[in-house]
Structure 1
Amino acid sequence: MSGQARKWAWESSTSKGVARLVLLSIADRIPDAQCVAYASVTDLMERTRASRNAVRTSLALLVDAGELEICDEYEGPQHSTVYRMPRPAAWLAKVAAAQKAAPELRVEDVEPLTDADPAPDLKDLDKELLRKHRIWFIAGSESGPRRQNPAGSKSAPARQNLTPRRVRNRPPSGSETDPQNCSEPKVNRRYSSSSAAEVTSATDWQVDDASLAWAQQQGHLERLGEQGLQAADAKWRHYRSAWSPRSTAAWSADWRSWIAREHTPTPQRPNLYALPGGSPALQAGMTKADLHMAALLAAVDEPTGTE
C-alpha cells in the first residue's frame, strides 16, 4: 500500500523541499491500507540527507498542513515515533467501502476524494495488524509515558539540543577572576604585548654586541675590514628599509646572513665606481645601473695625456 501513499504524496501534496522528502520517506514505509508507519528523526535524516532541525521543522509543517498525523498511543522499534498519512488513509477507506457495496467497481470509477471524506478514527486502527509490522499500542500501559510530539506542539517549544553549537564547556572549578574562566591573550604569542616592544624597523635596528662578536669570530671582520663591514651594513639597511617591522632577533639573523654573503673587496682593483668630482668610496644603496654609469663617467673624466 506504500504505492498509493507515494502516489498521493507526489500528485496531491502541497509540501516542498525537505518537507516533501520527509513525507515521501514516511510514505515509502507504509505497509497496509491504514497508512501508518514508524520512523525516527535519525532515520529521516539519513534518508533525506537533511539536518536534525530541518527534519523536525518539516515534521511540524506537515502536521500543521494536515498531511501527517502523529499517533501518540503507538510506538515503533526503539521507541520511534508512529505517523499516519490521513488523506491516503481516507482515500483507501473510501475505495474499500465502495468496493464492499459494489464488488465489481473498479478503483478508477470511485469518485475523487473530497474534504467531506474523513480518515478513519485513530481509535479504530487494527492493533493486531499493526503489531505484525512492529508497531505497538502503549496508551494506558506500564511501558512508559505518552509520547510527545518530536516536532514540537503549540503548548511547548520544539526540543532543543542540550549543548548549543559554538559554546565551550567551562571547567567545574574556578572563580570568575581565574584565567581558565576568561579569554586572556597568551603572553608567548607572536603578537602579544610582551613581544610588541621588541618589534622595530631595519633602519632603527642597531647591531648588537653578539652580532659584532659573531662577525669577528667567523672572520668576516678581518675579511671585509671595518670600512667594508660598514658599507655592507649600509647596503643591508637600504634594501631592508621597505620591509615590515620585525623583532630584534629576526633582524640580527638576517643581518648575519647578509654579511656572510658579502663579497670580499679587492684593494688592488682600480676604483671604477667613483663619481666625477665626488668621493672615491662606494655609494651605499646604488643599483647596478647606477654603478655602471658611475664607472663610465669616471673613465670619461680620467686624463689621457693628449689634452
Structure 2
Amino acid sequence: MSSEAREWVWGHSSSRGAARLVLLSIADRVADEQCVSWASLSSLAKRTRASVSTVREAIDRLVDAGELEQLDDLVGPQRSTVYRLPLAAKAVAEIAEDQDADQAPAQGREVTSTLRISALRRCGIRPREVPESPARVRKPAVPESGRSRRKPAQGRAGNRHSNVPETGTQNRSEPDLNRRYSSGGAAVASAAEWQVDPATHTWARQQGHLDRLGEQGLQAADAKWRLHRADWKPRSSDAWAADWRSWVAREHPPARRNLYAVPDGGHRPAHGMTRTEAHQAALLAALDEPTGTEG
C-alpha cells in the first residue's frame, strides 16, 4: 500500500520542497490501506538530506495543511513517532469501494477514523503505554515518601576545618591550590627549596662521605646538585633525599692543593695555576732534576 500512498503524494499533495520530501518518506513506510506510518526525526533528516529543524518545520506545515496527522496515542518501532496520511487514506478507500461491484460509489463519504490496531501491530506499531493510575505506579529508585534515601547533610555552623578553604578546589593533589601537598601527604618542593634533613646528613657522616669530601666538599657537591636539578619538576622530600644521596655517593673529593715544582728549583702554590700549567711545571721540574750521569 505504500505505492498508493506515494502516488497520492505525487499526484494530489500541495506540499513543496522539503515538506514534499518528508511526506514522501513517511508514505514510503505505509503498510496498509489505513495509510499509517512511523518515522523518527533523525531518520527523516537522513533520508531527505535535511536538518532536523527543517524536518520539524516541514511536519508542522503538513499537519496545518491537513495532509498529515501525528498519532500521539501510538508508538512505532524504537519508540518512533506514528503518522497518518488522512487524505491519502480517504482516496485509497474510495478506490477500493469503487472497485467493489456490490457497493455503491463512496464518493463524498468520510473514511472512518477508527484504526485497526491489530493490523498495525504487524508493523511494530502499538498503543503507547499509559500508567493506570498515579497511585499504582512506583519508581523503584524513589521511596514512597518522595524523599531521597540519602542521609541529609547536617547543618553547618561554620567552617569545621580551619585549614581547608570553604570554596575552591579541595583536591590536595592539585598543585595550583597547594603545591606543598601531594596525594600521598609527602611534602613537595623544587630542588632549590629542598633542605638537607638531619637524617640525610647523618647518612653522609655514617657512610664516610663527610670524611671523604670534607665539609666544604660536601657543600660544593650540594651546590652542584642543586644547579643540575634546577629545571626538574617538584618532587617529594623522600625523592629529593634519595637523589641527593646518590649524587653525593658518586661525587669525587676535591683536588688537593699541592705545591708544584717550578724550573728554578722553587715552589709555587697551585692556587692561580691552571691544570695544564701545573702539569707543565711538574714535567719541567722532573727534567731539571740531576740523574747522576752528568759529566
TM-score (norm 2): 0.50
Is the Cα–Cα contact under 8 Å of residues 199 and 245 in structure 1 kept in the other structure? Answer: yes
Write out per-residue CA displacement over residues 94-125 of structure 1, whole angstroms, 9 at most, x where no aligned residue. Answer: 4664686699xxxxxxxxxxxxxxxx97x723
Cα distance, 1:30 vs. partner?
Answer: 2.5
**Cα–Cα, structure 1 residues 48 and 99, in superposed 2: closer, same or farther, change >3 Å?**
closer
- Report what 1:290 is aligned to: none
**Cα–Cα, structure 1 residues 221 and 48, in superposed 2: closer, same or farther, change >3 Å?**
farther
- Report what 1:132 is aligned to: 119
Larger Rg: 2
Cα distance, 1:64 vs. partner?
Answer: 1.2
246, 253, 259: which one pairs with 2:242? 253
List runs of 5+ in structure 1 lacking aligned partners. 104-119, 146-169, 281-293
**Cα–Cα, structure 1 residues 132 and 66, in superposed 2: closer, same or farther, change >3 Å?**
same
Cα distance, 1:36 vs. partner?
Answer: 0.9
Distance 1:237 1:270 in 2: 32
Aligned pairs, number: 226
13, 18, 24: which one pairs with 1:14? 18
Is the Cα–Cα contact under 8 Å of residues 202 and 237 in structure 1 kept in the other structure? Answer: yes
Q: Which is bigger in relative contact order (C-alpha 8 A, separation at least 6)?
A: 1
SS across alignment from 1:84: strand
Amino acid at match of 2:209: H
Distance 2:169 2:54 in 1: 44
144, 148, 154: which one pairs with 1:174? 154
- Report what 1:216 is aligned to: 205
Distance 2:259 2:30 in 1: 101
Aligned alpha-carbon RMSD (Å): 5.5
- Report what 1:189 is aligned to: 173
**Cα–Cα, structure 1 residues 175 and 136, in superposed 2: closer, same or farther, change >3 Å?**
same
Is the Cα–Cα contact under 8 Å of residues 4 and 92 in structure 2 kept in the other structure? Answer: no
Amino acid at match of 1:206: Q
Alignment of 1:222-261 (within 5 A): 222-244=211-233, 246=235, 248-261=237-250
Cα distance, 1:224 vs. partner?
Answer: 3.8
List runs of 5+ in structure 2 lacking aligned partners. 101-108, 135-149, 161-165, 182-186, 261-268, 289-295
Cα distance, 1:133 vs. partner?
Answer: 1.7
Write out per-residue CA displacement over residues 11-45 of structure 1, whole angstroms, 9 at most, x where no aligned residue. Answer: 976169xx96x984x55643113321356x7xx77
Amino acid at match of 1:65: R
Cα distance, 1:188 vs. partner?
Answer: 3.7
**Cα–Cα, structure 1 residues 91 and 35, in superposed 2: closer, same or farther, change >3 Å?**
closer
Amino acid at match of 2:243: D
- Report what 1:70 is aligned to: 70
**Cα–Cα, structure 1 residues 28 and 229, in superposed 2: closer, same or farther, change >3 Å?**
farther
Amino acid at match of 1:217: Q
Cα distance, 1:185 vs. partner?
Answer: 3.6
SS across alignment from 1:70: strand
Distance 1:239 1:174 in 2: 52
SS across alignment from 2:18: coil
Distance 2:113 2:245 in 1: 89
**Cα–Cα, structure 1 residues 29 and 178, in superposed 2: closer, same or farther, change >3 Å?**
farther
